Amino acid sequence: MAQADRFAHSIDNCHAKTATEILVALHSNADVGLSQQEADQRLSIHGRNALRMRKPVNPFRLLLNQFENPVVWLLSAAALVAFVFGEWQEGTAVLAVLVINAGIGFITEMRAMRSMEALRALGNLTTRVRRDGRALPVAAEELVPGDIVILEGGDIVAADLRLVKGSNLSVDESALTGESVPVSKSSEPVSAECVIGDRSSMIFKGTAITRGSGIGVVVATGMQSELGQISRLVEEAAPEHSPLERQLERLSGQLVWFTLLIVTLIGVVGVFAGRAPYLMIESAIALAVAAIPEGLPIVATMALARGMWRMARKNALIERLSAVETLGATTVIFTDKTGTLTENNMRLRELDLPDGFVELNPETSTFVLGTQPINIDQMPAMDQALKALILCNNAELGADQTKNTGDPLELAFLEAGLLVGRQKADLLLQYPRVGEVAFDSESKKMATVHQDGDAFLVCVKGAPETLLDHSTQIAVNGSISPLDQSGREQWLVRTNEMAARGMRVLAVASKHTADRQEDAYDNLTFLGLLGLYDPPRPDVREAIEDCQQAGIRVLMITGDHAVTAKSIATTIGIAGEEDTVMEGRNLKPAKDLSVAELKEIRRATVFARVSPAQKLELVSIYQADGEIVAMTGDGVNDAPALKKADIGIAMGLRGTQVAREAAVMVLRDDAFATIISAIREGRVIFRNIQRFVMYLLSCNLSEVLVVGMAILVGLPLPLLPLQILFLNLVTDVFPAFALGLGEEGEHVLRSEPRDPRKPIFTGHMWVETIAYSLSITLATLGALAIARLVLLMDKQEAVTVSFLTLALAQLWHVFNMRDRGSNWISNAVTRNYFIWAALALSGGLLLAAVYLPSLAAILQLSAPTGQAWLLILTMSALPLVFGQVGKMVSVMLYRRKKGS
């Protein structure tokens, strides 16, 4: 066996050999597959089916990255100047800050990289493989040469395959060949000289099944695959920066230029005033240190990382950082119905047959006609319909029904068959499958062909209107009767009646033919209608109400019948009784729509019988109106709309791999309520970022104003560079960290979505920041003036007073970060236990700065007297009082303006 395995990767021109030749060479069997023991042996020889792992980031390189920042360069220059003038303590302190910041940034980035690796591990792909004669989900990395892979529309191919058989099979090879149009595949061999794009008998790793189904045998895995060969030549692209990161970088750059401008201005004024050069240099260092919020990038990273993990714990995996910002701005959600709004627990509840109406009694799990339980052997119409549904089926029931695989609709038919003693395996022995016409999302039907003695049995299921168009006969009382247009219209009426009860309606048909090549859909015999019920999720109505309160429109977009969609939408609160349902057949291309038709589309709350191309058009229409659109999807045909939407949301449980690749968010539980939870988290994260940016900027600006104004009016420096550094680490970083980790109340979902085009820091916020900074500056300089002129303190005592006044004013200032209109005692800031911990820690460090002799000597501070403490506490509280009164006045003015 080992020799056969070693030979597996050396088979040349697999595309030019027949499938049988490849199977023989690989010692495999298309019907049974490999045994688990054989697969394990081959895995040990060939290794895991994975491309070369990304090279681990060099820790030294990552550490150097922490110093590639204009802010760091400016601080380094300040340290160098301090050393040149012999100010070793100041220079050493600046370097210490740089080392601490670099250490925190290094640890944060390392943790972030490990976090993303862990998130990727949650999304490992699986593939349906035939082993030991059973179809099983197997991790893609465990595929080995010789494995028999079962392919269906929506799958991403996990290894290079030689197609053994296929039905209506098309593959998107754009990731490999650049060909934008899906290519058809066939099991027939092609010329050995064919290039990759023309090898129609091969399906390659990394490509996507766009249509049809098939079976293939693995011929190459990992780096031996065509994609693996190409990946050797590809350099990894640089990581994308999110808009938020770019805004923060731009803000940091602006602060650097602002600092240089202030330093230059102060220097010019000082020179003309005849100040000593060293005093000007020391002042420049103090201003440079004061102007730059060293903690800004660190706090932003921590807030985003924690927010992403909070989302992950709530079953929402975010693929790109930019999605976090966009989530909070979402204004429209297009959601599908099955599995997202409903439980995805589909059961066959009704069969409307030509011979009678059959229902499932949910309490006894038995089918009844009227009130009488049914004996399937005595009702041939039901037996014939269920037989066709079980045969025209690609799902598989697990041994204990806990490992079922396949489409929920098809599983519901298999489970219904078990209730009446009809099993797929038994029926396939009696009617072996010899062909299949795979489900097509455009035509909404599927057929399988089975051997039935010397003839063939064709079983078909699909949309009622489609199957009725193809049916020329109907099975009634065990005989076949013609089906005319009048009869078709009557069955369409019965379809609408069933859909109005909230059922997902399908139809079933069949025929016998002597010619296997005959069109599967010609001259069908109609067998009846099937009503499947999937109850709404218990939490979905509340989630819809939360969306509506948050100013977000929720629109249902589904391939279901219009009446069914309206029934469910009304039940869960998406639509009212008078709301419009728009059907796909009435949707024109966007370029052909009139103004009136566009208005009608915007009024609709439910879109039924919509094609993938129409989903894409709907997203474009709403985006053109300035809406921020989120779109849910699970199928391969949803991928274009998921990619086009501002937030593409894929289903993690039932979503195809193609859909998950196209989306920026994956729901691990497929629940709509998870979407609103993620939107809430996105709003909380963005609001926290605004809070700590305002806090950091107002604190740092107040330090600049304190130093700058003192110099301009001829006062001695109220703060030394070393003291400012200490303040930036104590009163800036810890409370800012706490603000970045805060939670919000439910009111966050009671406001309109923010405009994503607006900057992170609006003009109104700049006005607030400057006002806060001035209040802190005036309080600090006032304390300094009283200490020197009224209390007649010496220079060191007065500097200590100004230092502690500024420090405490900045600590109390954190309570000014509450939202306007929130309760001044109980709000998002006061309820944040991280805030209280940060205040306790910062307060302890401030006490150490004045009472610990060694630290007080380095900072050139002295222990305050009782009189000094009274002055410090009084003056430091004034900015807090100013901020709270300002918020009260602002609310009063806003309410008066709103009332008028």
Residue 770: phi and psi, rounded to 5, are -65, -40
Residue 172: phi and psi, rounded to 5, are -85, 110
CB-based contacts of 662, cutoff 8 Å, min separation 6:
633, 638, 639, 640, 642, 643, 648, 650
Distances (CA, A) of 704 to 269, 426, 777, 787: 16, 83, 9, 21
Structure tokens at 810: 């900045």
Residues 736 and 48: their CA atoms lie apart, in Å, by 45
Residues 77 and 825: their CA atoms lie apart, in Å, by 44
∠ CA(26), CA(32), CA(37), 5° rounding? 70
Encode 849-870: b = buried (16+ Cβ within 10 Å), e = exposed: bbeeeeebebbebbebeeebee
Residue 34: phi and psi, rounded to 5, are -80, 160
Helices 540-549 + 562-572 axis angle, to 10: 80
- Total number of residues shown for the chain: 900
∠ CA(635), CA(460), CA(29), 5° rounding? 70
Q: Is 503 left (phi over 0), alpha (psi -120 to 50) or beta?
A: beta
Residue 108: phi and psi, rounded to 5, are -65, -45
∠ CA(853), CA(859), CA(860), 5° rounding? 80
What does the DSSP assignment read for 80-136?
HHHHHTT-HHHHHHHHHHHHHHHHHHHHHHHHHHHHHHHHHHHT--EEEEEETTEEE
Residues 246 and 254: their CA atoms lie apart, in Å, by 12
CB-based contacts of 558, cutoff 8 Å, min separation 6:
336, 337, 338, 565, 606, 607, 608, 610
Burial class of 819 by CB neighbour count within 10 A (0 to 12, 13 to 18, 19+): middle
Residues 249 and 300: their CA atoms lie apart, in Å, by 11
Residues 382 and 424: their CA atoms lie apart, in Å, by 16
- Its sign, for the CA torsion 553, 623, 120, 8, is positive
Contacts 24+ apart (CB under 8 A), 443-450: 444/559, 445/470, 445/521, 446/392, 447/392, 447/520, 447/521, 448/391, 448/392, 448/393, 449/516, 449/520, 450/391
CB 794, CB 716: distance < 8 Å? no
What does the DSSP assignment read for 317-335?
EESSTHHHHHHTT--EEEE
Nearest to 334 by CA among 663, 722, 764: 663
For the chain, helix, strand, coil in percent to 5 are 50, 15, 30
What does the DSSP assignment read for 698-725?
HHHHHHHHHHHHHHHTTPPPSS-HHHHH
CB 365, CB 417: distance < 8 Å? no
Q: Which of 172, 336, 638, 670 is catalytic?
A: 336
- Only one residue has tokens 């019948």, namely 561
CA dihedral defined by 639, 641, 642, 646, rounded to 10 degrees? Answer: 160
Structure tokens at 775: 């209040």
E strand or H helix at 168, and its extent? Answer: strand 160-172
147 is catalytic: no
Annotated catalytic residues are: 336
